[in-house]
């Protein structure tokens, strides 16, 4: 906190490992170029990037899927697995344009996640807003932590 | 296996940019992926900024420099424990220098499903004109 106030314009102080992280990515890129197989990191190279969190009663899965219509997303949950698949299409507005940059990718994707516990598949909720897909997966009764009262 | 996956979208790692002097918020800064294309009367910019809400998005055009910035607040509540993390919330920031003269009064911006669409109409005098050659 104090550091932030003293050096407000130097984020390196907040995350001293940012540069190492950057270096690691650069190294991986070099490796990819050498081996030529597009080798991937455990978490990178897949679309969409996903975060999973949990609290006592739910698992939460959030994915960054900008520019996808909700109807093009398909989600299924069974026991402790969740699958998210879909397709991103970038509409071509008109033909007579010249591109300066084309960085946004389109295509199909599919990911299956294994959660550390079973979910109540019939009560899964999915919401899509601002390009983020948010799933709330209630834990199955047997997967919930139980408070055990100690008898005296 | 890898050949097959070329049809799928590859996740592009959110690129971090070095410290930007304007940045006043703590946290990582990401470069949004963009498509930029132009035709005779407008330049269009499409930028992927998942998680940004319209009120947190700033678009600024001055001296031919277009600046996009948007802040995303972490959606997790405090009692959630994380066990897979592939992206982080932060600030999106990107600047472009535009070569054409833009009609600043007619800029149109739309944010749908995390994608910003900017329409920058060119000024009348900057549009190419077809000149017909008269013959006698």
Cβ contact A66–B115 (<8 Å): yes
Instruction: Provide the phi-psi class of B113: left if phi over 0, else alpha when psi is between -120 and 50, else beta.
Output: left
Of A4, A44, A104, which has the smallest distance from its Cβ to B11's Cβ? Answer: A44
**CATH (residue range B24-76+84-124):** 2.60.40.790
pLDDT at A144: 73
Chain A within 8 Å of B35 (Cβ-Cβ)?
yes
Q: CB-hemisphere CA count at 13 Å for B106?
A: 13
The span from the CA of B16 to the CA of B92, in Å, is 9
The full set of domain ranges for chain B reads: 24-76+84-124
**CATH (residue range A46-90+104-141):** 2.60.40.790
Q: What is the pLDDT of residues B82-126, one digit of tens each?
A: 888 888 888 888 888 877 678 877 888 999 889 999 998 888 776
**pLDDT band for position A134 (cuts 50, 70, 90):** very high
Burial of A55 (0-12, 13-18, 19+ CB in 10 A): middle
Q: Which residues of chain B make contact with A48, given a CB cutoff of 8 A?
A: 9, 11
The full set of domain ranges for chain A reads: 1-41, 46-90+104-141
pLDDT at B63: 79
Decide if the complex's ipTM is over 0.85: no
Of B34, B52, B111, which has the smallest distance from its Cβ to A101's Cβ? Answer: B34
């Amino acid at each position: 906190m104090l550091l932030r106030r003293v050096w407000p314009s130097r984020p390196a102080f907040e995350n001293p490992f940012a540069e190492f992280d950057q270096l690691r990515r650069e190294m991986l890129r070099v490796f990819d170029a050498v081996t030529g197989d597009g080798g991937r990191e455990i978490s990178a190279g897949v679309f969409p990037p996903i975060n999973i969190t949990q609290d006592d009663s739910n698992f939460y899965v959030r994915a960054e899927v900008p520019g996808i219509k909700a109807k093009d997303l398909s989600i299924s949950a069974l026991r402790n697995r969740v699958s998210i698949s879909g397709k991103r299409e970038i509409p071509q507005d008109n033909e007579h344009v010249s591109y300066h940059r084309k960085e946004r990718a389109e295509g199909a994707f599919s990911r299956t996640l294994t959660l550390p516990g079973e979910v109540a598949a019939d009560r899964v909720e999915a919401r899509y807003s601002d390009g983020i897909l948010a799933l709330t997966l209630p834990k199955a009764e047997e997967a919930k932590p139980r408070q055990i009262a100690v008898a005296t | 296996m890898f050949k097959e996956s070329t049809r799928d979208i590859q996740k592009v790692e959110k690129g971090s940019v070095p410290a930007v002097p304007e940045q006043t918020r703590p946290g990582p800064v990401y470069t949004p992926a963009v498509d930029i294309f132009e035709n005779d009367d407008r330049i269009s910019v499409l930028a992927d900024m998942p998680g940004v809400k319209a009120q947190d998005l700033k678009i600024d055009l001055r001296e031919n420099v277009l600046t996009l910035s948007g802040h995303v607040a972490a959606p997790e509540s405090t009692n959630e424990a994380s066990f897979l993390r592939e992206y982080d919330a932060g600030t999106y920031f990107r600047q472009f220098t535009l070569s054409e003269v833009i009609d600043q009064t007619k800029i149109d911006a739309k944010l749908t499903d995390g994608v910003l669409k900017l329409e920058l109409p060119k000024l009348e005098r900057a549009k190419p004109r077809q000149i017909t050659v008269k013959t006698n």
